[in-house]
């Protein structure tokens, strides 16, 4: 008996070894590629009530490969939750809430399939059933989506400097609005304007975009952009709507009074003594040292004022975004820079007709001489020596520090 056992041992050992090798091979080529697959719960109610809204897929990959998870409906159509996603060996889990490609699947019984394809071409799959009940299949809508204007010049000239984006949101959802650049990669987010309707709540929403210029930043480069608006509700229903926006002549406007030098003088005597009734004149040079044109408005260089006038009496009122040269003086009882002129001779500036109006621009790198005069018919300060100075005003925007109170000079006013 003992001898018989010893004689058969090599054969038994060979069989055991062969079975072991077969099992190892099976694990390596199929049996071990995909294991531990489970889906729980088997019924979900994806309606954002916090109860069985999602199910969890769990699985293990025995080697690297591509992993797919899809559901097959009663008509045989596949709905891919994961489509040939690259995965390395390891344990995985992922939650599924009934949404495929941004759309909630309708109520019904589905066959789920988890499928793996190894790098060597071997495949393995497992399947089961999943039932969807009481699903929220209503997608959020962005009704009346509009972008205006669609040609945008973010350069603070007061014309088409801002873009308004509007829509009506039909149900509660998280909404993101942004630009995609011509390269299709860079995103430029756009902030919502605070209103009575809070972000994400049903109702009318509006966005105001100026390209960052108001904060002193350069806007996105000129080009044609896609405006994206994305809405995702609480269960994952996803809506995307797009439009286009063209950016032209975008940039931060920059100009100054060259060398901060202003020449004040009495044109009759050439000095800085101006008796009442006589005229104070000035000459200065403005340069556009930025990358975008700057818009200006009259009155024209060379215009003459009486000291009791101002630019409003010339019927050339403040214009948002326009640049003008101004003269002010010490003890001025009215608003700042009452005497204003265009930043150059209008005949020497670039002329453009915009929205039916004639506009004038000092172009990048261009210099312009500005002259003007004020007849001092009164002296509201009561002083015999009054400081006068110049400024370069960007109306309704700002006066840069280096363009304010430029080159103050004492003028002797004779009585």
The predicted pLDDT at position 335 comes to: 86
Which of 77, 107, 132 marks a domain boundary? 132
Whether the CB-CB separation of 397 and 404 falls below 8 Å is answered with no
The predicted pLDDT at position 11 comes to: 44
Is the same domain home to 46 and 114?
yes
Q: Which two tokens stand for residue 233?
A: 């509700």
Is the same domain home to 162 and 94?
no
The predicted pLDDT at position 182 comes to: 87
Is the same domain home to 385 and 263?
yes
Is the same domain home to 178 and 275?
no
C-alpha span between 61 and 87 (Å, rounded): 8
**What pTM was computed for the model?**
0.80
The predicted pLDDT at position 415 comes to: 61
**What is the total count of domains within the chain?**
3
Which of 132, 150, 169 marks a domain boundary? 132
Is the same domain home to 91 and 231?
no
Which of 213, 247, 281 marks a domain boundary? 247
Is the same domain home to 268 and 372?
yes
Peptide bond before 406: cis, by omega within 30 degrees of 0?
no
415 residues of the chain, pLDDT tens digit each? 444 444 444 444 444 444 444 444 444 444 589 999 999 999 999 999 999 999 999 999 999 999 999 999 999 999 999 999 999 999 999 999 999 999 999 999 999 999 999 999 999 999 999 999 999 999 999 999 999 999 999 999 999 999 999 999 999 999 999 999 988 888 999 999 999 999 999 999 999 999 999 888 999 999 999 999 999 999 999 999 999 999 999 999 999 999 999 999 999 999 999 999 999 999 999 999 999 999 999 999 999 999 999 999 999 999 999 999 999 999 998 889 999 999 999 999 999 999 899 999 999 999 999 999 999 999 888 889 999 999 999 999 999 999 999 999 999 998 6
**How would DSSP label each residue in 359-404?**
EEEEPTT-EEEEEEEEE----TT--SEEEEEEEEEETTTB--GGGS
Query: Does 209 fall in a domain?
Result: yes
Query: Does 77 fall in a domain?
Result: yes
Is the same domain home to 155 and 191?
yes
Is the same domain home to 267 and 397?
yes
C-alpha span between 164 and 329 (Å, rounded): 40
47: domain CATH number is 2.60.40.2550
Whether the CB-CB separation of 131 and 188 falls below 8 Å is answered with no
Is the same domain home to 202 and 262?
no
Whether the CB-CB separation of 169 and 201 falls below 8 Å is answered with yes
Whether the CB-CB separation of 99 and 105 falls below 8 Å is answered with yes
Is the same domain home to 178 and 220?
yes
Query: Does 2 fall in a domain?
Result: no
The predicted pLDDT at position 390 comes to: 98
Query: Does 360 fall in a domain?
Result: yes
Instruction: Tell me the backbone φ, ψ of residue 3, rounded to 5 degrees.
Output: -65, -40
Is the same domain home to 125 and 171?
no
The parent domain of residue 341 ranges over 255-414
Is the same domain home to 259 and 383?
yes
């Amino acid at each position: 008996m003992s001898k018989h056992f010893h004689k058969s041992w090599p054969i038994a050992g060979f069989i055991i070894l062969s079975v072991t090798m077969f099992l190892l091979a099976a694990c390596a080529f199929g049996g071990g590629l995909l294991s531990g697959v489970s889906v729980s719960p088997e019924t979900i109610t994806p309606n954002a009530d916090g109860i069985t809204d999602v199910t969890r897929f769990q699985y293990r990959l025995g080697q690297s490969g591509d992993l797919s998870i899809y559901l097959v409906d009663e008509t045989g159509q596949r709905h891919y939750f994961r489509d040939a996603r690259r995965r390395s060996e390891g344990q995985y889990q992922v939650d599924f809430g009934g949404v495929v490609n941004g759309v909630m699947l309708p109520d019904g019984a589905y066959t789920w399939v988890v499928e793996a394809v190894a790098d060597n071409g071997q495949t393995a799959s497992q399947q089961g059933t999943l039932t969807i009940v009481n699903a929220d299949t209503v997608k959020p809508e962005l009704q009346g989506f509009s972008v205006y204007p669609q040609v945008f010049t973010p350069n603070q000239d007061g014309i088409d400097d801002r873009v308004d984006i509007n829509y009506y949101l039909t149900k509660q959802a998280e909404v993101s609005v942004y630009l995609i650049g011509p390269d299709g990669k860079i995103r430029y987010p756009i902030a919502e304007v605070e209103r009575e309707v809070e972000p994400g709540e049903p109702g009318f929403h509006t966005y105001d975009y100026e390209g960052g210029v108001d904060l002193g930043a350069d806007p996105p480069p000129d080009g044609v952009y896609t405006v994206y608006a994305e809405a995702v509700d609480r269960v994952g229903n996803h809506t995307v709507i797009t439009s286009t926006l063209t950016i032209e002549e975008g940039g931060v406007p920059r100009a100054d009074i060259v060398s901060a030098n202003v020449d004040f003088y009495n044109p009759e005597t050439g000095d800085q003594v101006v008796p009442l009734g006589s005229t104070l004149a000035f000459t200065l040079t403005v340069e556009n040292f930025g990358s975008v044109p700057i818009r200006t408005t009259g009155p024209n260089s060379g215009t003459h004022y009486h000291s009791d006038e101002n630019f409003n009496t010339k019927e050339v009122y403040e214009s948002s975004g326009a640049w003008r040269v101004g003269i002010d003086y010490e003890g001025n009882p009215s608003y700042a820079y009452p005497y204003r002129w265009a930043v150059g001779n209008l005949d020497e500036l670039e002329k453009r007709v915009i929205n039916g109006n004639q506009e004038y621009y000092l172009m990048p790198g261009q210099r312009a001489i500005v002259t003007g005069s004020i007849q001092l018919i009164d002296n509201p300060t009561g002083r015999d020596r009054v400081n006068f100075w110049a400024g370069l005003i960007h109306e309704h925007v700002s006066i840069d520090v280096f363009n304010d109170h430029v080159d103050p000079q004492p003028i002797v006013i004779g009585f």
